[in-house]
Amino acid sequence: MVDYHAANNQSLYSAGGQQIYMEQENDWDRDLLLDPAWEKQQRKTFTAWCNSHLRKAGTQIENIEEDFRDGLKLMLLLEVISGERLPKPERGKMRVHKINNVNKALDFIASKGVKLVSIGAEEIVDGNAKMTLGMIWTIILRFAIQDISVEETSAKEGLLLWCQRKTAPYKNVNVQNFHISWKDGLAFNALIHRHRPELIDYDKLRKDDPVTNLNNAFEVAERYLDIPKMLDAEDIVGTLRPDEKAIMTYVSCFYHAFSGAQKAETAANRICKVLAVNQENEHLMEDYEKLASDLLEWIRRTIPWLENRAPEKTMTEMQQKLEDFRDYRRVHKPPKVQEKCQLEINFNTLQTKLRLSNRPAFMPSEGRMVSDINGAWHKLEGAEKGYEEWLLNEIRRLERLDHLAEKFRQKAAIHESWTDGKEAMLTQKDYETATLSEIKALLKKHEAFESDLAAHQDRVEQIAAIAQELNELDYYDSPSVNARCQKICEQWDALGSLTQSRRESLERTEKQLESIDELYLEYAKRAAPFNNWMEGAMEDLQDMFIVHNIEEIQGLITAHDQFKSTLPEANKERESIQAIQAEVHKIAQYNGIKLAGNNPYTTITPQSIDKKWEKVQQLVPQRDQALQEELARQQSNDHLRRQFANQANMIGPWIQNKMEEIGRISIEMNGTLEDQLTHLRQYEQSIIEYKPNIDQLEGDHQLIQEALIFDNKYTAYTMEHLRVGWEQLLTTIARTINEIENQILTRDAKGISQEQLHEYRTSFNHFDKDHSGVLHAEEFKACLISLGYDVENNKQGDAEFARIMGIVDPNNSGAVTFQAFIDFMSRETTDTDTADQVIASFKILAGDKNYITAEELRRELPPDQAEYCIARMAPYTGPDAVPGALDYMSFSTALYGESDL
């Protein structure tokens, strides 16, 4: 027979489950003792690292081995750093609840390919400091260090190689490990200075003052880089060998802070020459100014909309915001991406043409530089990303709030219905005039009530817990929820006091015990828990549920099937209880006993039991239908995930492959520049023709969002990553084509042969050791030496090298582009147009006269160029002037500005 008394203290759908202990992959041995100094460093570092992630969820830890014991914050930490949802935690306070929560966290870690050695849930729950630190180190390795990759090395070796490369130029820094190499603090300061030189005056640091060095690096990182202080300088200096795991954890934060830094784009553009180019340049300048103004104005209007984080109270209003954001992504932003790319291409082309013809460089109006537009664009994308994350989080929160609020109202209504009239019953004074037999009947009835009262304790606790969660999630109607919860709790306390008071009154007036009808008592004792079980079953069968994947709904279906398997035995219990009542009537009829009325020990009648049993029987198929409908929905969602993943898993590698191919094409020298340009344009066309695949994926992504699907285990690609990759691919191929076009302009303007260009590219690629597409100062110096320039390391050579660098790198960026390289080489080896050459050309058109007429210009030049000259040439005033004579000498000189004077 089912123990329904025990069943009242357990969840109807508790799936149970065995605790699975996984093995740990790393060198964490249960039997080894941790050095006290190392343990102190690990405690501080690991605590700070955990809090840097937990603060995103609005919480933190104080004691690393205590605050993870119940598993709740451990599961929250894993959700934050992985971006994935873990199974719902158990909210109970018992040890078994804590162990189950920790096991869910350990199972999640193991699902990421990590073997946990000697770490079990019991040890974490018991507050074992060494095992807790070992578990956190495993998490840090997996989520913060494992994916670091530098030159085919990964994890620890990759992080060490990154540190060595970044600190190589700094004196007194020699990073060989993650302990001794960091004691003097210079390595930390070098990493910051390499990426943010304005934050640290490195030359003022002294190797013999490690405490000052460490404190300086830690304070700067915390203030400007959002890296919390994870170690104390005194602990590091005072330890013979700092803890390697603590240092690796701290350094990994620097890696992630700097890994996304973008290299500054060079703005070296050449300028064009001759009259037609000068005319086109003015038109391009006007177009640039208008396009830049329009784009900046659009960004200025859009950013405040994206930065608006005012939440709505209903799901419908938040979903409308999400739909507006989708329209922005799908309709409004793509044309602006093309405008931004076209703006940069126009700017580069304009500057190239101006430089080739020795014209002054174009300077846009204040605030309309390419760097200003890029800065505004980066701010726009930052606001865009944050806005999307906020929208999705708000929708999840509102969904959760609606579910919890409805659940609160249902449970509160059931409880209030049960408590109705209980206070009046407990305060009546019927025992003052009762007989002894009646006293005993009242006492038994009170015992049954107390059993019923205890059975309802769980529901009151559930109501309070739901109200607390609604408060924590900032439910808009929390005041009314709190008021109702407060009233229920106060009434519950009053019922407890009245129950105790009535028992004491009954016991005081009770003189002796007499035997009573045992069948009535047995009926009451068995009917009350069974009745309560049926009420709980009805409540659970009508309980709302929210699931996010097939596994969760299948778990509910399994639990429901388990419940249905208990119904035959429950029916036997019902029939047995009804048989007791039948036996009562049989005995009364046989002995001629006239029953006084209903069972004195309970208000539960056989009719009410049968009615509730019929209700349970009706609710079971309804629950079956609801679960099957939800299973169908989750299967549909899973189909959407697979549909999106199949496309994303093809498009993601395709974009990456195209980016790599463009990179190879940009440094290869196959065929003439025209051949390369034709090949690149064909390549660009093939990329554009791939756009329908992106559009199809956008459609699949919109279906996923409309279905409120927030995870996809079938792919590592997100729509955001693929959008950015697609935009970068379009921009990269357009810029590469523009570079070839500019090289053709340079070749034609300077008279450079194809063989010379091939030779320039061969020399450039040879010294571009890291294949970055630019030559750093030392690489460029080596290239010049190979070409015969005297730039050796002496006073004269240094001066010559400084002069050349001033030409090829006027912005002092420390890098020389291929375009700047061929500009320099062509300037050194070819002649350029000068004012004198242009004057000589006009003199030929004028028939050796010192002036030229409008008629001659219209006869010799294309119409637009002729009118351009006529509108800008001043009248000629020399002694041999004739009516309508124009001064071409002053005009030609003015074209070249002061640079040719």
Q: How many Å apart are CA 548 and CA 630, to the nearest integer?
A: 10
Task: Give CA–CA dist 202/188, Å, rounded.
Answer: 11
> How confident is residue 162, by pLDDT bands cut at 50, 70 and 90?
very high
Beta partners for 816?
775
Q: How remote is the C-alpha of 50 from its chain's centroid?
A: 17
Instruction: Using pLDDT thresholds of 50, 70 and 90, give the confidence band for residue 8.
Output: very low
Lowest mean pLDDT among 248-252, 557-561, 660-664, 857-861: 660-664
The 10s digit of each residue's pLDDT in 498-510 is 888 877 776 665 5
* Angle made by CA atoms 43, 46, 52, in degrees to the nearest 5: 135
DSSP H or E run through 429: none
Q: In angstroms, rounded to a whole number, what is the distance separating the alpha carbons of residues 451 and 445? A: 10
Whole-number pLDDT of residue 435: 55
pLDDT of residue 898: 43
Please tell me the predicted confidence (pLDDT) of residue 897: 59
Measured between alpha carbons, how far is 202 from 172 in angstroms, rounded to an integer?
Answer: 11
Question: What's the one-letter identity of residue 23?
Answer: E
What is the DSSP code (8-state) at residue 180? G
pLDDT value, residue 27? 42
Task: Write the class of the CATH domain 272-416.
Answer: mainly alpha
pLDDT of amino acid 200: 92
Amino acid at 664: R
Minimum mean pLDDT among 73-77, 299-303, 306-310: which range?
Answer: 306-310
Give the burial class of 854: count Cβ atoms within 10 A of its Cβ; 0-12 exposed, 13-18 middle, 19 or more buried: middle
Q: Which residues contact 42 (CB under 8 A, 6 or more apart)?
A: 34, 133, 137, 243, 245, 246
Dihedral sign from CA coordinates of 764, 770, 773, 774:
negative
> What average pLDDT does the segment 879-887 reach?
87
Task: Quote the CA–CA distance of 586 and 609 in Å, as a whole number.
Answer: 20
Is the pLDDT confidence value at 883 over 50?
yes
Cβ contact 101:71 at 8 Å: yes
- pLDDT at residue 649 tops 60: yes
Residues 303 and 331: their CA atoms lie apart, in Å, by: 16
Closest CA to 672 of 738, 743, 771, 733: 743
Distance CA 643, CA 702 (A): 12
Confidence of residue 29 (pLDDT cuts 50, 70, 90): very low
Report the distance separating Cα 841 and Cα 839, nearest Å.
5
Cβ count near 512 (within 10 Å): 7
- With CA atoms as reference, report the closest residue to 880 among 846, 841, 842: 846
Query: Residue 187 above 50 pLDDT?
Result: yes
What distance in Å separates the CA atoms of residue 877 and residue 883, rounded to the nearest whole number? 10
pLDDT of residue 433: 59
Identify the top-confidence range among 30-44, 267-281, 312-326, 536-550: 536-550
Q: Which residue has the higher pLDDT, 750 or 26?
A: 750
**CA dist., res. 899 & res. 555, Å (int):** 80
Answer yes or no: is pLDDT of 182 > 90: yes
Are the beta carbons of 163 and 175 closer than 8 angstroms? yes
Higher pLDDT, residue 816 or 828: 816
* C-alpha closest to that of 368 among 304, 306, 303, 286: 286
Tokens describing residue 317: 């209003």
Percent of the chain predicted with pLDDT > 90: 8
Half-sphere exposure of 314 (CA within 13 A, CB side): 3
Least confident of 171-185, 192-206, 337-351: 337-351
CA 874, 880, 885, 891 dihedral sign is negative
In angstroms, how far is CA 513 from the centroid of its own chain? 71
Q: How far is Cα 473 from Cα 477, in angstroms, rounded to an integer?
A: 11
DSSP 433-481: G--HHHHHHHHHHHHHHHHHHHHTHHHHHHHHHHHHHHHHTT-TTHHHH
> What local confidence, expressed as pLDDT, does residue 384 receive?
79
Over residues 503-526, the mean pLDDT reads 62
Q: Stretch 375-380: mean pLDDT, rounded?
A: 86
At 200-225, the pLDDT tens digits run 999 899 999 999 999 999 999 999 98
Separation of alpha carbons 443 and 447, rounded Å: 6
| Cα 315 from Cα 266, distance rounded (Å) | 47
- Is residue 650 predicted with pLDDT exceeding 50? yes
Q: What does CATH list as the number for 754-816?
A: 1.10.238.10
User: Would you say residue 594 has pLDDT above 80?
Assistant: no
Query: Which conformational region is residue 598 in: left (phi greater than 0), alpha (psi within -120 to 50 degrees), or beta?
Result: beta
Q: Return the closest-CA partner of residue 833 out of 267, 277, 268, 269.
A: 277
Sequence-separated (6 or more) residues with CB below 8 Å from residue 296: 367, 368, 372, 373, 376
Higher pLDDT, 200 or 151: 200
Of all helices (H) and strands (E), which one includes residue 864?
helix 863-872
Tokens 């018992």, located at residue: 94
Question: How many CB atoms are located within 10 Å of the residue 145 CB?
Answer: 20
Average pLDDT over every residue of 167-188: 91
152-161: average pLDDT: 82
> Is it the case that residue 267 has pLDDT exceeding 60?
no
User: Per-residue confidence at 16, pLDDT binned at 50, 70, 90?
Assistant: very low
| Closest-CA residue to 249 (of 225, 224, 230) | 230
* Residue 764: band (very low, low, confident or very high) from pLDDT cuts 50, 70, 90: confident
**390 is written with which tokens?**
């906020």
Q: What whole-number distance in Å separates Cα of residue 482 and Cα of residue 854?
A: 91
Residue 830: pLDDT band with limits 50, 70, 90: low
Which of the pair, 555 or 306, is modelled with greater confidence? 555
CA–CA gap between residue 282 and residue 278 (Å, rounded): 7
In this prediction, residue 275 has a pLDDT band, given cuts at 50, 70 and 90, of low
Neighbours of 566 (CB within 10 A): 15
pLDDT at 269 over 60: no
- Domain map of the chain by residue range? 41-263, 272-416, 436-450+462-634, 637-742, 754-816, 837-900
421/616 Cα distance (integer angstroms): 26
What is the pLDDT averaged over residues 456-467?
81
Rounded Cα–Cα distance for residues 361 and 358 (Å):
9
- For the chain, the average pLDDT equals 79
Average pLDDT of the segment spanning 518-539: 81
Say if CB 861 and CB 869 are below 8 A apart.
Answer: yes
- Collect contacts of 189-196 with beta carbons under 8 A, ≥24 apart: 189/213, 189/216, 189/217, 190/166, 191/163, 191/166, 191/167, 191/251, 191/254, 191/258, 192/217, 192/220, 192/221, 192/225, 192/254, 194/166, 194/167, 194/169, 194/170, 195/166, 195/258, 195/261, 196/224, 196/225
Is the confidence at residue 572, as pLDDT, over 80? Answer: yes
Expressed in angstroms, the distance from the first to the final Cα of the chain is 110
pLDDT single digits (tens) 791-824: 777 777 788 888 888 888 888 888 888 778 777 7
Q: Class for domain 837-900, per CATH?
A: mainly alpha
Rounded to 5 degrees, what are φ and ψ at 603?
-100, 5
Domain 41-263 matching CATH 1.10.418.10: the answer reads: yes
Residue 641 · residue 687 · CB < 8 Å: no
The Cα diameter of the chain in Å comes to 154
6: nearest Cα among 448, 465, 533, 602: 533
Token look-up 């110096």 returns 781
Query: Where residue 173 falls among pLDDT bands split at 50, 70, 90?
Result: very high
* Arithmetic mean of pLDDT, 541-569: 83
Whole-number Å distance between alpha carbons of 517 and 507 = 20
Residue 387 has pLDDT above 70, yes or no: yes
Classify residue 720 by burial, with Cβ atoms within 10 Å: 0-12, 13-18, 19+: middle
- Write the DSSP symbol of residue 432: G
Residue 17, sorted as left (phi over 0), alpha (psi -120 to 50) or beta, turns out to be left
List pLDDT tens digits, range 621-638: 988 888 888 888 888 888
Joined tokens for residue 622: 């309804």
CATH fold match for the domains 41-263 and 837-900: no
Reply yes or no on whether the pLDDT at 3 is more than 60. Answer: no
Lowest-pLDDT range of 56-60, 354-358, 773-777, 799-803: 354-358
- Beta bridge partners of residue 268, listed in sequence order: none
Contact 619, 542 (CB under 8 A): yes
For residue 149, the surrounding DSSP H or E stretch is: strand 149-150
Q: Which of 489-498, 721-730, 882-891 has the lowest mean pLDDT?
A: 489-498
Mean predicted confidence (pLDDT) in 10-36: 38
Q: How many helices (H) and strands (E) does the chain have?
A: 34, 6
pLDDT at 262 over 50: no
CA geometry: angle 694, 699, 701, nearest 5 deg:
90
- Dist. CA 479–CA 477, nearest whole Å: 6
By the 8 A CB rule, do 55 and 429 touch?
A: no
Banded pLDDT at 198 (limits 50, 70, 90): very high
Check if the beta carbon of residue 544 is closer than 8 Å to that of residue 404. no
Burial-class residue 731 by CB neighbours within 10 Å (0-12, 13-18, 19+).
middle
The region of weakest confidence among 547-551, 699-703, 848-852 is 547-551
**What is the arithmetic mean of pLDDT over 677-686?**
86
Q: What is the reported pTM?
A: 0.41
Task: Give the span between the Cα atoms of 168 and 176, in whole angstroms.
Answer: 11
Given the candidates 3.40.50.10540, 1.20.58.60, 1.10.3720.10, 3.30.70.890, the CATH classification of the domain at 436-450+462-634 is: 1.20.58.60
Count of residues in the chain: 901
d(CA 64, CA 230): 14
* Residues 466/408, Cβ–Cβ less than 8 Å: yes
